[in-house]
Amino acid sequence: MSIPSHLSEYMSVFMDELDEQIQIMEEQLLKLEAQGGKVTIIQTLFRAAHTLKGSSAAMGFDALKNLTHGMENVFDLIRNRQLVVDSALTSVLFHATDYLKLLRHSLLEGQQDTVDIDPLLVLLEQITQQNSTESKLAYDPAVMAGDLGLSELVVELNRFQRNVAIQAMRNQHEVYSIYCRVRSDAVMKSVRALLVYQALQESSEVIAAFPPVTDIEDESKFLGEFILVVVTKESQQLLEERLSEISQIEVIHIESIHLNNLDQYVNEEDASRNLSSNEQIGKSDTSGTGDQPQVRRSQTVRVDVDRLEQLLNLVGELIIDNTRLHEVTSRMMQKQQREDSDLATLSDIANHFGLIISDLQEGMMKTRMLPIEHLFNRFPRMVRDMAQATSKEIEFVMEGKETELDRKLIEEISDPLIHILRNAADHGIESPEERVHCGKPRAGTLVLKAAHQDNQIMISVTDDGKGIDPIKVKSSAIRKGIITEHEAERMTENELQHLIFRSGLSTAEQVTDLSGRGVGMDIVRAHIEKLNGLIDIHSTVGMGTSITIRLPLTLAIIRALMVELDERMYAIPLMNVVEIVALQPNEIKIAHGREICFIRGNVYPFIRLDQKLRVASGTQVRTQARRTTVIIVSFGDKQVCIAVDRTLGNREIVMKSLGTYVGEVPYISGSTITGDGGIALVLDVHALVNEEGSKIMMTTSEQTLGMKNRAAEVTIFRLAQHHFGISVHDVREIIQVPDIESILHSSPFVQGMFSLRGEYLPLYDLHRFLGLQRHESSKARIIVMDSSRGTVGILIDQVMEVTTLDEETRVEDIQGPRNASSGIVGVYSNKGQLVTWLHLDDMITETMR
Amino acid sequence: MAMQQTSNQYVEIGLGNDRFALPIQEIHEIIKMQPIIEIPNTPTSLLGVINLRGNVIPIVNIHSYLGMPKVPDTKMNRIIIVNYEQSMVGIVADQVIQVTSYSQIEPLPYGEQHHDGRHANHVANVQGVLINIISMDQIL
C-alpha cells in the first residue's frame, strides 16, 4: 500500500511525532522500570501510545496502529492496577518500542508493513488477556461506537453565525452544511474528523461545527458523525471530491445553505451555547490535529543538512569577499588624500556590510549547534539493555546534556561513545556478586558527562568498575607482538593502559556479544583524532576507568592571527593565541638541547616555526641583535612560544580542508583563501602544543627514572657538529654507506632503501628532522638497529666511541614546562662534549607522524 | 576495461620526452600555470595546493609518480585539473598537445602484474609512436 498523496504532506509531521513519542516512551519505560508503576509515568506512557495510535491510524499505517493499540491496552491495565509491573513486562514493552523503531525505519524507506509485528502483538495480547478482557472492550471506542445508533445531529446556527453566513452570501460565497460519518469500525475517529476539518480549512472557513469541536476532539465523546458549516468559494462537487479522498469516511452529505433556507438552520434560543462552540473553532485553528493535548513542540523547521552546509559555504565566500572589500577600501582611503564623499560612503557601506555578515555568520553557526542531548538521549536505553544482557546492575548518570556542539560532531562522536560505553558496561563494571565481594555497592555507576572547557568540548565516560589491569594489557600486548618485552619493561602503568588504543589488543578473556573482539579502541581513537580531538584514559585497578574525549569546537569559520614566515602566510586560530611578544635575543636560552624563552619570569618552550615546518626562513636575521616576534599559543593548559617572521593582523578565515588526497599534514590543520586570492595554511596549534606537553610526562617520570638506575653503555656518534648517543643494546651493527636506492612517495626523512645481505631496509636521515645540515663525508656510516617498525638504518656522519653515561654526567636541566622532545632521553656531558642521548625508536615513530 | 568505454576522446599531454593521454571524461579543466603553495612536511609527490576559484586543489607531482625527473617550468606548462575520487587534484603537464581519439588502443602485454605497468595498462599506437594511457585512479 502506498501512502495516499494527500497524506504525504503530513508525513514529515507524523514522523516527527513518531520520533518524539518513541523517545518519550523509552524515557518513561526506563523510569517505569526503576520506579515502578507511578501514576504520572503510566499516564505519560498511555498518552504517548494513544497519540501514536491515533495518528498512525489517521495515516493509515495499520501495523503501527495495531502495535500501539496493544501497548495502550497494556498501559491501561497497569493504570487500572490490573497488571503489575515486572521486568518481564518492561522487557516486552521495550521490545515493543524497538518494533516501533523498526516500523519507523521501514516507513522512512517508503515501505510499509514489512516488519512482522505479529509475534509481539500476540505477546501483548496475552498480557492483556491474562488479566482482563473487559477493560479492553470497555475502552475501545470503536466497539463502543458500534453499539450505538446514529444520534440526531441538528445544525443550529446562532445569531452571530447566521450573520456571518448572510454576509458571506452577499459576497458571492457559498455556504454549505457538510455532514460526514466516519466508518464505525475506524479507530481514532476524531482524528479522521479533524482531517476533514483541516481539508475544508484549506479552501473554506468553518463557521460552525456540530457537535462542538471540543467534543469532536475528544475521542471518548465523539461518536463518528459531525456536521460542519463552511463558507467557501468552491463548488459543492469540488468539496465532495476533496473529502472523499480522506479514507475511512463513510458518508458525505453536503447541503447548500442560501438565504431562502437559512432560517431552518438557525436556532435563536440556543445562541449562547453555540457562540461558545464558535469560539472553540477559532481556538482549534492553532491546536492542529490530535485528540490529546499536543506535546510541547517548539516551532521548528526541518532543514536538510546539506542545504545548511551549502549556505554556510556561501557565508564563507561572503566573508572572504568582505575581507577583500575592506582591504581595497582601506587602500583607496590611503591613496585618496582629498575628502571624497563617494569613498566615505563606500567605506560606510563596507563597514555595514561587515556587520551584517558577521551577524549572518553567527546565526549560521548557531543553526549548526545542537544540544548534545540529541545524542545522549539514546544512551540510557542502551545501557539498560547492556546491563540486562550481562546481568549487571548499572546506574547510569548523564551530566551536561545541554552542552551545545556542532551537529556534525554530534553525528561523528556517536559511534565512538557507544563503543566506550559498551566497553565500560561489558568489561569495566563487574557483576553484582563480584562487586559485593570487593566491598562495592551492587550497582555499578556509569557517568557520562559533557561540558565546555576552554574552547573545547569535553566528554567523559567514567565507571567505578574493575579498571584496566596494566599487567594484563602488558602480557596481552607482548603475546600479540604489539610491543616487545624490552619495550614493555620501560613503560609506565598509564602508558601500558594507553596500549588499549593500539590495534589488535583486547584484554577480554572471551569475546562477548557486546565487545572484546580486539577491534575497537584503536578505531575509537582514530575516529576522535580525525576530528582533531584527543582521547585519554585514566584507570586504577579496582577503582574504575575514566575515558576523556576532548574535541575542538571545529567550526568552519574562525578568527585567526595571520603570520608571515618565509614570505608565506600562515593562520593561527585566534582562540589559541594568548599574546604576541617581541623577544630580545638574550631572552632565548638553550636548555637541555632545546630552546626556551623567558617572558616576564615565566619559562616557555620556544618553537622556531621554520624548523618545525622545515621551510627556509630569516633565521640568520634573527640571530643578529634583533627582536624576535613570538606568539604565545595555548591549548588546554599548555602553552608554547612560536617564533615567526612577523605578524599580519587578525582576520576572519574560512577553514578549507586540504582534502583526502593530501590527508594529514604535521602541524597543519587546513588552509584558507586569503584576501588576495592566495592560500594561507592554518597551523595546527593543538599538535604543536600537545607534542611539547605530552613529553613532560614521559621524560620526567618514567624514562629518566629508568635510566637513573642503570648506567648504560652508549654508542656516541656525530650528526653535523653535534654529538648524540644511543644505547648499545639498540645497535645491531654499524656498516659503511652502501648504494642507496631512493623510493618515491616516502616520508621526507626516509632517504631511501639499502640492501643488507639481501634484505632491503629503510634508511632514515635525521639531519632534517633535527634541523641540521648534512655534509657528504667518507666517515659517514649507517647504524642498523631494531625499531618498532622493524630493522632500519640511520644515517650518521661519524661514529665517535662507545662509552658509559650515567646520571652523574647528566647535565642539570632547568625545570621548564618542557625539557626534551620525544625521543630525547637527556643531555649528558662526556669529555667536555655535550651528548644528547637519543631514543631512536621514538624518534623514528615521530618522523612518521 | 575502463579505458574502452564511453567517450574515446583523450587529452594528450607531454611529460618529459614522453606522451601520455588522459581520458577526457576524467578531466575537469585545464588552466594556465599559477603559483603553487607548498605544504611543509609533505612527501615530494605533492607539489602543493592552488586556489581554484575558492577551492583548494592539491597539485600532484605526476613526474615523481611516473618515475621521471621534473623538467624546468616553461611557458607551455599547464595545470590539468582531474576528478579524483570525490574531489579534484591537479597535475602539472609540461605541455598539452591535443585532444584526440585513437584508432588503435592495446592493452600492455604484462597488464597490471608488472610493477611498472601499474601506471598505464593500455597504450595507443599512433604510427609506431606509443602513447601511454593513464588514469588518475591507477596512478594515485
3 state DSSP class of A516: coil
Domain CATH for A202:
3.30.70.1110
Tell me if residue A141 falls in helix, strand or coil.
Answer: helix
Task: Report the pLDDT averaged over residues A320-348.
Answer: 79
Model pLDDT for residues A213-236, shown as the tens digit of each residue: 777 777 777 777 788 888 888 777
What pLDDT digit, counting tens, does each position of A140-191 carry?
333 333 333 334 566 777 777 777 788 778 777 888 888 887 877 777 777 7
Read off the C-alpha cell for A843. Answer: 624518534
Higher-pLDDT residue of A726 and A339 is A726
Q: What is the mean pLDDT of residues A114-131?
A: 74
- Domain membership flag for residue A667: yes
According to the model, what pLDDT value does residue A504 have?
63
Residue A814 in this model has a pLDDT that exceeds 60: no
Q: Which of residues 118-137 of B touch A (CB under 8 A)?
A: none
With CA atoms as reference, the chain B residue closest to A319 would be B54
pLDDT of residue A515: 44
> CA A78, CA A619: separation in Å to the nearest integer?
80
The pLDDT assigned to A557 comes to 66
User: What are the structural domain ranges in chain B?
Assistant: 2-139
C-alpha grid cell for residue A201? 480549512
Answer yes or no: is A177 within a domain: yes
User: Is residue A573 over pLDDT 70?
Assistant: yes
Residue A296 is assigned to a structural domain of this protein: no
A338 and A409 co-located in one domain? no
Task: Answer yes or no: is A377 within a domain.
Answer: yes
Chain A positions with Cβ closer than 8 Å to B: 317, 320, 568, 613-615, 656-662, 665-668, 671, 673, 677-679, 681, 744-748
- Whether B118 has a pLDDT exceeding 70, the answer reads no
Confidence of residue A339 (pLDDT cuts 50, 70, 90): low
Task: List Cα–Cα distances, A455 to A364, A449, A530, in angstroms.
Answer: 18, 16, 18
Percent of chain B scoring above 70 in pLDDT: 85
CA distance B45 to chain A (A): 6
- Beta-carbon contacts of residue B115 (< 8 Å; ≥ 6 apart): none
At residue A282, φ and ψ (nearest 5 deg) are -55, -45
Q: DSSP state, A3?
A: P
Residue A830 has pLDDT above 60, yes or no: yes
CB pairs below 8 Å between A and B: how many? 82
Q: Does A120 share its domain with A165? A: no
Q: Is residue A464 part of a domain?
A: yes
Nearest CB partner across the interface for A665, out of B42, B65, B87: B42
CATH number (domain holding residue A26): 1.20.120.160
B50 contacts on A by Cβ (under 8 Å): 679
The predicted-structure confidence for A34-72, as pLDDT tens digits, reads as follows 877 777 888 888 888 888 888 887 777 878 888 888 888
**What is the per-residue pLDDT across B48-64, written as a single tens digit (0 to 9) for each?**
999 887 788 999 888 88
In this structure, chain B runs to a length of: 140
Q: What is the CATH number of the domain that holds A571?
A: 2.40.50.180
Task: Identify the helix (H) or strand (E) that includes residue A696.
Answer: helix A685-698
Highest mean pLDDT (candidates A257-261, A394-398, A601-605): A394-398
Both A111 and A170 in a single domain? no
Choosing from A350, A371, A392, the residue where a domain stops is A371
E strands, A233-318, are 249-257
CB B39 within 8 A of CB A658: yes
- Which residue in this structure is represented by grid cell 602553552? A639
Out of A660, A662, A744, whose CB is closest to B42? A662
Mutate to test the interface with B, among A679, A749, A846 (most CBs of B within 10 A): A679
Determine, yes or no, domain membership for A247.
yes
CB contact (8 A) between residue A744 and residue B85: no
Work out the average pLDDT over B100-120.
Answer: 62
Same domain, A574 and A722: no
B41 and A613 within 8 Å at the Cβ level: the answer is: yes
Which residues of chain A lie closer than 8 angstroms to B89, CB-CB? 659, 661
Question: Does A771 lie in the same domain as A632?
Answer: no
> pLDDT value at position B5?
45
Q: Do A816 and A727 share a structural domain?
A: yes
**Does residue A437 have a pLDDT over 70?**
yes
- Surface of B (24-63) touching A: CB under 8 A: 35, 37-46, 49-51, 54-58, 60
Q: Do B37 and A662 touch (CB under 8 A)?
A: no
| Span A733-744, pLDDT tens digits | 888 888 888 777
The cell numbers describing B111, all together, are 597488464
What is chain A's alpha carbon radius of gyration, rounded to the nearest angstrom?
37
pLDDT at A278: 41
Active site residues of A: 50, 72, 423
Residue A88 pLDDT greater than 50, yes or no = yes
Q: Which residue from A317, A660, A681 is facing B85, i.e. has the nearest CB?
A: A660
**Residue in A closest to B64 by C-alpha:** A744
Residue B83's closest chain A neighbor by CA? A661
Which among A658, A668, A745 has CB closest to B43?
A745
Residue A149 resides in a domain? no
Pair (A71, A207) in one structural domain: no
> Considering only CB atoms, which chain A residues are within 8 Å of B86?
660
Rounded-to-10 torsion of CA A206, A207, A212, A218 = 20
Question: Do residue A660 and residue B50 have CB atoms under 8 angstroms apart?
Answer: no
- Pair A238, A356 in one domain: no
DSSP-assigned letter for residue A431: P
Q: Is the alpha carbon torsion for A25, A31, A32, A34 positive or negative?
A: positive
How far B83 CA sits from the closest chain A CA (Å)? 12
The predicted model gives A627-641 an average pLDDT of: 80
Tell me the percentage of chain A whose pLDDT exceeds 70.
80
Q: How many domains does chain A have?
A: 6
**Which of A76, A59, A65 lies closest to A5 in space, CA to CA?**
A59
Indicate whether this complex's ipTM tops 0.90.
no
Q: Which among A552, A583, A615 is the end of a domain?
A: A552
Residue in B with minimal Cα distance to A847: B41
The domain B2-139: what is its CATH number?
A: 2.40.50.180
Q: Which of A665, A744, A745 sits opposite B41 (nearest CB)?
A: A665
Q: pLDDT digit string (tens) for A584-609? A: 877 887 776 777 888 777 788 888 88
B118 closest CA partner among B108, B128, B106: B108
Would you place residue A570 in the very low, low, confident or very high pLDDT band (cuts 50, 70, 90)?
Answer: very high
**A730 and A838 housed in the same domain:** yes
Question: Do A507 and A393 share a domain, yes or no?
Answer: yes
Q: How far are the Cα atoms of A13, A40, A84, A95, A292 from residue A49, in angstroms, in the given order? A: 17, 14, 18, 14, 11
List of chain B residues whose C-beta atoms are within 8 Å of the C-beta of residue A317: 54
Residues of chain B contacting residue A848, judged by C-beta atoms under 8 Å apart? none
Residue of chain B with shortest Cα separation from A658: B56
Same domain, A528 and A388: yes
User: How many angstroms separate the CA atoms of B65 and A376, rounded?
Assistant: 47
3-state percent helix, strand, coil for chain A, nearest multiple of 5: 45, 25, 30
Structural domain of A518:
373-552
Q: Which of A313, A608, A655, A661 to mutate to test the interface with B (most CBs of B within 10 A)?
A: A661
**How close does chain B come to A664, measured CA to CA in Å?**
9
pLDDT at residue A812 tops 90: no
Q: Identify the H or E element spanning A528.
A: helix A521-530
For residues A378 and A367, state if they share a domain.
Answer: no
Nearest to B67 among A667, A681, A744 (CB): A744
Helix (H), strand (E) at residue A177: strand A174-182
Domain membership of residue A302 (yes or no) is no
Res A849: pLDDT: 59
